[in-house]
Amino acid sequence: MKGGRFWAWVVFILGAAYFFIPLIATVEFSMRMRRGVYSFDAYQIVLGDERFQATFMYSVIAAIFTIVLGVLIVVPAAYWIRLRLPQLRPVVEFITLLPLVIPAIVIVFGYIRMYGSNSPLPFLASDVGTNALLVIGYATLALPYMYRAVDTGLRTIDVRTLTEAAQILGAGWGTIITRVILPNVLIAVLSGAFLTFAIVIGEFTMASLLNRPAFGPYLQNIGANRAYEPAALAIIAFVITWGCMSLIQILSRFAPRSANRPN
């Protein structure tokens, strides 16, 4: 067993090195802008850049709309399937896995061809329509994660029994959804939301192909034209991802635990 522990440390340290060296190198690189001394100049320039602010805000708003759209589509479906239509579960699970099978670039390619200016549903004819299509595209990308988060949340609270208990106590559907189900799956929904945010905020392919002024294409553009700013941006993006994942971790501590589960 002693030898086993030695190798475990070797593996862990090698892995840690592979993962931390790029982060350290990126931090170092991002601070090299002023000749001879380390400085935060790159960060100042990036954060002060109007296009950074505009594109970042655009992506934040797109992410928020994506989350709202995702919740509106996923929560009722997941709830209804748990409650009334369990026979549809395999179909819905299959569909929610499709975005992992079909690359994003293919999905957006389909949108461009199907919803062009001359099509019956000309999303791409207007700015608003294109923005909507971007949000829709993001919602499909987030679908697997959102569905899984919500479904797990519903499974732990045993919606069926809760709903029936509420019905016996005389609650109407409005009360059941707002007072019983939503508070109990809120944590799961929020976890899905933060994961969606992390995926969407720097997304490049869809935003770029739909010509949206989003953060992803901005990053790519800076990367092609500047030296030190991209490193600063990479660190900022890493911090955002880290923040989203930490929030999910913190939230999971507040998640309701089912009384039925032994563990």
Partner 1 sequence: MTDLSLSNQTMAGKAAPPAEARSLRLPTQWLGVAPFFIFAIMFLILPTLYLMLGAFQNDAGEFTLENIVALAQPSIVAAYWISIKVSLASALIGAFAGLAIAIAIVRGGLPNWIRSATLTFSGVASNFAGVPLAFAFLATLGRLGLATVILNTVFGLNIYAHGFNILSFWGLTLTYVYFQIPLMVVIITPAIDGLKKEWGEAAATLGATTAQYWRMVVIPVIWPSFLGTVILLFANAFGAIATAYALTGSSLNIVPILLYAQIRGDVLHNAHLGYAIAFGMIVITGLANVFYIWFRTRSERWLK
Q: Which of residues 116-135 bind partner 1 (CB under 8 A)?
A: none
Residue 103 C-beta: closest distance to partner 1, Å: 3
Q: Alpha helix (H) ranges present in the chain? A: 2-30, 41-48, 50-83, 89-101, 104-114, 127-157, 159-168, 173-175, 182-200, 205-209, 215-225, 229-254
Given candidates 84, 117, 165, 169, which one binds partner 1 under the rule CB under 8 A?
A: 84
Q: Which of 65, 51, 44, 33 is nearest to 236 (CA)?
A: 44
From the list 29, 41, 64, 247, which residue makes contact with partner 1 (rule: CB under 8 A)? 29
Is 113 near partner 1 (CB under 8 A)? yes
Q: What mask of x and - would describe binding to partner 1 in positions 1 to 20, judged by CB under 8 A? A: x--xx-xxx-xx--x--xx-
Give least dist CB 206 to partner 1, A.
Answer: 10
Please tell me whether residue 220 binds partner 1 under the rule CB under 8 A.
yes
Specify the residue, 64 or 240, whose C-beta has the smaller distance to partner 1.
240
Which residues in 138-197 contact partner 1 (CB under 8 A)? Answer: 139-140, 143, 160, 164, 167, 195
Determine if 204 is a binding residue for partner 1 (CB under 8 A): yes
Q: Which of 43, 65, 99, 184 binds partner 1 (CB under 8 A)?
A: 99
Contacts of 147 (CB under 8 A, 6+ apart): 74, 77, 78, 92, 93, 96
Part in contact with partner 1 (CB under 8 A); list of ranges 51-59, 71-79, 151-159, 254-262: 71-79
Minimal CA–CA distance to 115: which of 98, 131, 128, 133?
133
C-alpha Rg value of the chain to the nearest Å: 23
Q: Is the CB of 10 or the CB of 61 nearer to partner 1?
A: 10
d(CA 105, CA 107): 6
25 binds partner 1 (CB under 8 A): yes
The answer to whether residue 30 forms part of the interface with partner 1 (CB under 8 A) is yes
* Residues making up the chain, counted from first to last: 263
Please identify which residue in 43, 66, 124, 137 interacts with partner 1, judged by CB under 8 A: 137
Asked whether the beta carbons of 167 and 213 are under 8 A apart, the reply is: no
**Angle at CA of residue 114, ends 108 and 117, nearest 5°:** 105
Please, which residue, 32 or 186, has the CB nearer to partner 1? 32
Place of tokens 């030190």: 228
Q: Select the residue interacting with partner 1 from 124, 185, 214, 234 (CB under 8 A).
A: 234
Contact status: 37 vs partner 1 (CB under 8 A)? no
Q: How far apart, in whole angstroms, are the C-alpha atoms of residue 150 and residue 141? A: 16
